[in-house]
């Protein structure tokens, strides 16, 4: 069974803190994605990776960076958290380009 896990379900951080969100998939998928989900805005792509150490900017990369050192793991980094980064963060993976994406449970981040 397909599985994408995210390190935390809920996270509370202070403005200016460095925040790491971890995502792990056990399906040997090439592609991994980070989205943020906000009410009324749907899902917006932050970054994606199509191979180890490869990354591409999505639609809203500002204020974020990513790391993919191993195929199964894709990390989202908020270098200096701000209140406007309070959101639900979803990780996803897919085997091939343009195929079904499998989502993790999400991390609800609150930045105070």
Partner 1 sequence: AQSVSQHNHHVILSEAASLELGCNYSYGGTVNLFWYVQYPGQHLQLLLKYFSGDPLVKGIKGFEAEFIKSKFSFNLRKPSVQWSDTAEYFCAVNLFGNEKLTFGTGTRLTIIP
> Footprint of partner 1 on this chain (CB under 8 A)?
4, 31, 33, 35, 40-45, 48, 50, 56, 58-59, 90, 92, 94, 97-98, 100-101, 103-106
Torsion of CA 6, 11, 17, 23, to 10 degrees: 0
Closer by beta carbon to partner 1, 62 or else 98: 98
The dihedral through the CA atoms of 1, 7, 12, 46 has a sign that is negative
Q: How far is the CB of 16 from partner 1 (least distance, A)?
A: 30
Closer by beta carbon to partner 1, 41 or else 112: 41
Q: How far is the CB of 97 from partner 1 (least distance, A)?
A: 5
Largest CA-CA distance found in the chain, in angstroms, rounded: 38
The dihedral through the CA atoms of 106, 88, 90, 8 has a sign that is negative
For 39, residues 6+ apart whose C-beta sits below 8 A from its C-beta are none
Q: How far is the CB of 80 from partner 1 (least distance, A)?
A: 26
Closer by beta carbon to partner 1, 9 or else 18: 9
Closer by beta carbon to partner 1, 2 or else 110: 2
């Amino acid at each position: 069974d397909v599985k994408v896990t995210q390190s935390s379900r809920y996270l509370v951080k202070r403005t200016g803190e460095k925040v790491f969100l971890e995502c792990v998939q056990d399906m040997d998928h090439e592609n991994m994605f980070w989205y943020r989900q906000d009410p009324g805005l749907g899902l917006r792509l932050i970054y994606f990776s199509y191979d180890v150490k490869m990354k591409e900017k999505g639609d809203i990369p500002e204020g974020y960076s990513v790391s993919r050192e191993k195929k199964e793991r894709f990390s989202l980094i908020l270098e200096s958290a701000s209140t406007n980064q309070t959101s639900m963060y979803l990780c996803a993976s897919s085997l091939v380009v343009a195929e079904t994406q499998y989502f993790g449970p999400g991390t609800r981040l609150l930045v105070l």
